[in-house]
């Protein structure tokens, strides 16, 4: 079915449509048409206004790009190296191939990055100007992809936005909040009560992405920016525990664990892939991981989302966990 964009409207080329963020983005799309690149359609109902194109970053069909103004949302990032082939082919080379294919109707690129580009914590109120010190292979590939997006946008005159998140909670989250709740159920707390972290509900992120996409279409002068993404006020560990125990009727953890830095360092430098993975998870729990989102909050039309109470957002995410 041919997709016709409304007068004065725009479309979105979406890569990573089956991801948690991609699905949240589609839930918020309204009447805007979306061209989604997927490896396999999976027989799912994509809904009205979504044109599904089969392929991947190394085989992008011409049909992916609509003949009217559009913005690219690039979420097709390899997150886990389960096959042992590394991250460069998908995250770096794939991004380069995508950028080479963009047509003249493209207005901008939104790239789903991560706070991991800033390196190891603790981070308390880290800004976008913080030096990029990626510690893992995944984070290093993200830094390279960010550079490709920014350089291409500046060279050809496009908008670009690098979205750096820490934790994503809400509908579709199968890893972050379930793992944290499991620890509470086991009566274990890692890190002290003052540890803080930034997060965003995926549906709020979907709304933010749509508003940024519209801004790219409506703003004539191209801007290339990195944005930390989260709520203006980070959540403190004590608030997290109070909310989880109250909402789920659980006892507050009786065991508090603090992992010394020397042990984290030893695990990170271990030759075992499993040991390094454990170190990464403990790092996130043991140290503050909070972002300064002032730059995002000053974008017109985003203040209501960024200033949302993180406690209210957490309650909503806990509701999404319930069967």
- Whole-Å CA distances, 216 to 80, 105, 223, 289: 31, 12, 8, 29
Domain 11-171+199-231+290-308, what fold?
Rossmann fold (3.40.50)
> How large a percentage of the chain has pLDDT more than 90?
74
Dmax over CA atoms of the chain, in Å, equals: 60
> What is the C-alpha separation between 121 and 300, in angstroms, rounded?
31
* Measured distance CA(127)–CA(151) in Å, rounded: 21
Cα gap 147→117, rounded to integer Å: 11
The residue ranges of every structural domain in the chain are: 11-171+199-231+290-308
**What's this model's pTM, rounded to 2 decimal places?**
0.92
3-state secondary structure string, 78-112? CCCCCCCCCCHHHHHHHHHHHHHHCCCCEEEEEEE
pLDDT at 8: 52
pLDDT tens digits, 152-191: 999 999 999 999 999 999 999 988 999 899 989 999 888 8
**Residue carrying the six token digits 């992008």:** 60
Strands 235-236 and 196-197: antiparallel
Look over the chain and give the mean of its residue pLDDT values, rounded to a whole number: 91
* Helix (H) or strand (E) run with residue 262 in it: helix 261-268
- Please give the share of the chain, as a percent, with pLDDT higher than 70: 91
Q: Which residue has the higher pLDDT, 308 or 43?
A: 308
Least confident range from 4-8, 80-84, 125-129: namely 4-8
């Amino acid at each position: 079915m041919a997709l016709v964009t409304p007068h004065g409207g725009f479309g979105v080329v979406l890569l990573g449509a089956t991801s948690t963020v991609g699905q949240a983005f589609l839930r918020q799309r309204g009447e805007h048409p979306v061209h989604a690149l997927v490896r396999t359609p999976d027989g799912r109902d994509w809904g009205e206004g979504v044109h599904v194109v089969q392929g991947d970053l190394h085989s992008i069909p011409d049909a992916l790009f609509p003949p009217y103004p559009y913005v690219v949302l690039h979420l097709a990032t390899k997150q886990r190296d389960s096959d042992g082939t590394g991250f460069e082919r998908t995250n770096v080379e794939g991004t380069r191939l995508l950028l080479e294919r963009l047509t003249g109707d493209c207005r901008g690129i939104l790239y789903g990055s991560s706070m991991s580009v800033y390196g190891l914590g603790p981070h308390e109120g880290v800004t976008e100007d913080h030096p990029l010190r990626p510690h893992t292979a995944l984070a290093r590939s993200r830094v390279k992809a960010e550079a490709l997006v920014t350089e291409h946008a500046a060279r050809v005159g496009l908008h670009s936005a690098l979205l750096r998140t820490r934790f994503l909670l809400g509908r579709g989250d199968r890893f972050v909040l379930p793992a944290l709740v499991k620890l509470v159920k086991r009566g274990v707390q890692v890190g002290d009560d003052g540890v803080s972290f930034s997060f965003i509900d995926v549906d709020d992120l979907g709304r933010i992405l749509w508003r940024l996409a519209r801004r790219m279409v409506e703003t004539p002068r191209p801007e290339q920016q990195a944005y930390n993404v989260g709520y203006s006020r980070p959540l403190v560990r004590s608030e997290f525990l109070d909310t989880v125990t109250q909402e789920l009727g659980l006892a507050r953890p009786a065991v508090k664990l603090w992992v010394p830095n020397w042990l984290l360092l030893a695990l990170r430098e271990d030759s075992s892939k499993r040991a390094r993975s454990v170190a990464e998870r403990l790092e996130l729990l043991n140290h503050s991981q909070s972002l300064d989102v002032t730059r995002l909050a000053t974008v017109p039309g985003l203040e209501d989302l960024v200033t949302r109470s993180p406690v209210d957002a957490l309650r909503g995410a806990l509701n999404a966990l319930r069967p």
